[in-house]
Structure 1
Amino acid sequence: MTENLSWELYRTFLAVLTEGSLSGAARALGITQPTAGRHVAALEAAFGQTLFTRSQSGLLPTEAALELRGYAVALRSTAAALERAAASHGPGVRGVVRVSASDVIGVEVLPPVIGELRRTHPELVVELVTSNRLQDLLQREVDIAVRMTQPSQDALVARRIGDIELGLYARADYVAHHGAPQTLPELARHALIGFDQLTPFIREAGKALPAWRREAFALRTDSDLAQLALLRAGCGIGFCQTAIARRDGLVRILPKAISLKLPTWVVMHEDLRGSVRCTATFDALARGLQAYIADARAAPAVPPRRSAKKSTNTRSRGGT
């Protein structure tokens, strides 16, 4: 390979990988299909490798294409980080900062924090990535991340915020109708909201509650936001962050027997220490999450109560 290849070629390559066709890549990138085809052909000529083969379902990546994917993704992340840094020059806190957090934290906790940050620094643009997948800070997929695991890489700056508590909760009308279980075995007579696919995190967390298994759930979903929505709808009993549950007036179930702690960290790459936009955002997220944890500890929990009905009729596998 004797020529320098444009980033545009790699961008098209990634789009074809994602979309599975030249036409889909062209639509995603806002270019023409012939242009997308020329980009792929240029890469194949430069590498001396076929990157895609045609099939009835579209373009299939070859082994060579799959080996290149990681490098192209790293290039894309670096190019995006470069653009964010270039757009941030000037006085004050300005430019683009990219933040990642889990689905629940990103949707339920961070919006007020980001709103206050933007009121203080109106020229700051925040890109919020909500995903339970850990975004790669070393590859600059994001600038700052809120994580529930301690980072191990030396190149990362991490601040421990505290522990976010989770407990079992139900809506008040569910408890009024079905009663509140008073022991762990009584949970089996209730509509439980839980996961569909087992993950390493769920497996580890499940050691504290062996009965919390897929077969016991009346409602199953791997979306934390969907579980929260089912809980709010009064469909049954499920896990929820204590602060969110108290805010929504949910009733805590077996508070003495079941309590999970999520250690929480705000993390960024050490190279961003000198970035005004990133340090301002980092500090704002840390303060907001600390206040969120403190509020959860200060607020009184909604106590459970037994229904006037006998709990022998509470085997409600289908919810309310």
Structure 2
Amino acid sequence: MNWDDVRIFLAVARRGQILSAARTLGINHATVSRRLTALEKALGARLVLRRTNGCELTGEGEAFVEAAERMEAAMLTAQAGFLGQDAALSGTVRIGAPDGFGISFLAPRLGRLLTRYPGLHLQLVPVPRVFSLSRREADIAITVERPDQGRVVARKLVDYSLGFYASRGYVAEHGIPQAIEELRQHRLIGYVEDLVFSRVLNFAEELPRDVRATFEISSAVGQAEAVRSGAGIGILHDFTARHDPDFVHVLRGHIFKRAYWIVYHENARGVARVKAVSDFVMEEVAAARDGFLPDPDMANGDVLSATG
């Protein structure tokens, strides 16, 4: 059995299409199809059903994925050991993260990691969605819940807080609510409820029943920009909004507490470049930890927390 054939099979299994796998691997799609057939002949089993709209794993294919991923992990670990850390850190690492954390926190800091390891190639994907590590949609994922399934390594990054914010122009025109019930008289900005990618981000469940957003945006960064424009009051991350002169913190006694986790597939545990990026993110978060937490003068407020 040829390792290159196994590597191609994994790409097809993760991408769901021969053409997409070929693009990922940088080879011709006919080569992918031919090598996949060679692997099936070597194993004496049909691994993939080829359809006009993509590929579907057979039962044998599903079973072989786990064995193939163990082979992949062993190859990556061996490569790191034989080539040395510098060479092992010359590959690509893709980080998937919620847009608020990815854009506001990670993007301004990851350049320092590239200075430390010039051969590293980073891909940051800051979008509000769940990333599949088993399908290699990301090498590292920042999540707002601890995964409860899958073969992953998960470590808690930090607790963080959110609060109610408005623009200076908005409060000058509409005033500042003094109690959460007064939000009924204000425009509220929030998530599109049926598109919330994690239940812990559905803040509407923690508000009075008749307090609902009239302007829904499926992006934390988009919500912040809407608040900045004066469109209404929104629930924003304290670590970005607190020190922004455009924002006024209202209803300061009401705090939403959440947590970030850093997650990667257990097969990447021995991959030096993944470990280097994971360690860097943890170092940066640890250095900025106080900024993620509520101000000390709000410590006795109503904390609205969600567990993952």
Task: Give the TM-score category using the shorter length.
Answer: 0.5 to 0.7
Q: Which residue of 1 aligns with 2:84?
A: 89
Q: How many Å apart are 1:164 and its aligned residue? A: 1.3
CA distance in 2, matches of 1:202, 1:237: 20
Q: Which residue of 1 aligns with 2:45?
A: 48
Distance 1:145 1:5, change over 3 A: same
Q: 2:99 aligns with which of 88, 97, 103?
A: 103
The answer to whether residue 207 in structure 2 is matched with residue 209 in structure 1 is yes
Rounded to whole Å, the distance in 2 between the matches of 1:229 and 1:106 is 16
Q: 1:42 to 1:199 in 2, by over 3 A?
A: same
* Secondary structure at 2:120 match in 1: strand
Give the TM-score of the pair, scaled to structure 2: 0.67
Structure 1 residue corresponding to 2:256, chosen from 253, 260, 267: 260
Using a 3 Å threshold, how does the CA distance of structure 1 residues 73 and 93 change in structure 2: closer, same or farther? Answer: closer
Q: Which residue of 1 aligns with 2:301?
A: none
Q: Distance in 1 between matches of 2:64 and 2:271?
A: 29
Q: 1:117 to 1:181 in 2, by over 3 A?
A: same
1:7 and 2:4 correspond: yes
Change (3 A) 1:196 1:97: same
Does the C-alpha gap of structure 1 residues 111 and 76 become closer, same or farther in structure 2, counting only changes over 3 Å?
A: farther
Distance in 2, matches of 1:36 and 1:93, equals 26
Mind listing any 5+ residue stretches in structure 2 that lack a counterpart?
Answer: 298-308
Matched, 1:220 2:200: no
Q: CA RMSD in A?
A: 4.8
Name the CA distance, whole Å, in 1 between partners of 2:230 and 2:82. Answer: 46
* Residues 1:9 and 1:226: Cα distance change in structure 2 (over 3 Å): farther
Q: Which moved more, 1:67-76 or 1:239-248?
A: 67-76
Contact 1:100 / 1:135 at 8 angstroms: preserved in 2? no
Give the TM-score taking structure 1 as reference length: 0.65
Q: 1:124 and 1:111, CA in 2 relative to 1: closer, same or farther beyond 3 A?
A: farther
Specify whether residues 66 and 192 from structure 1 end up closer, same or farther in structure 2 by C-alpha distance, changes over 3 A only: farther
- The structure-2 alpha-carbon separation of the partners of 1:229 and 1:282, relative to structure 1 and needing over 3 Å to count, comes to same
For residues 54 and 268 of structure 2, the distance between their equivalents in structure 1, rounded to whole angstroms, comes to 39
The share of aligned pairs that are identical, in percent, is: 23
Larger Rg: 1
Q: 2:165 aligns with which of 153, 169, 192?
A: 169
Contact 2:96 2:138 in 1 (8 A): no
The residue type equivalent to 2:73 in the other structure is T
Which 5+ residue runs of structure 1 have no aligned equivalent? 302-320
For 1:251, which of 248, 270, 282 is the aligned residue? 248
Counterpart of 1:195 (choices 192, 197, 204) is 192
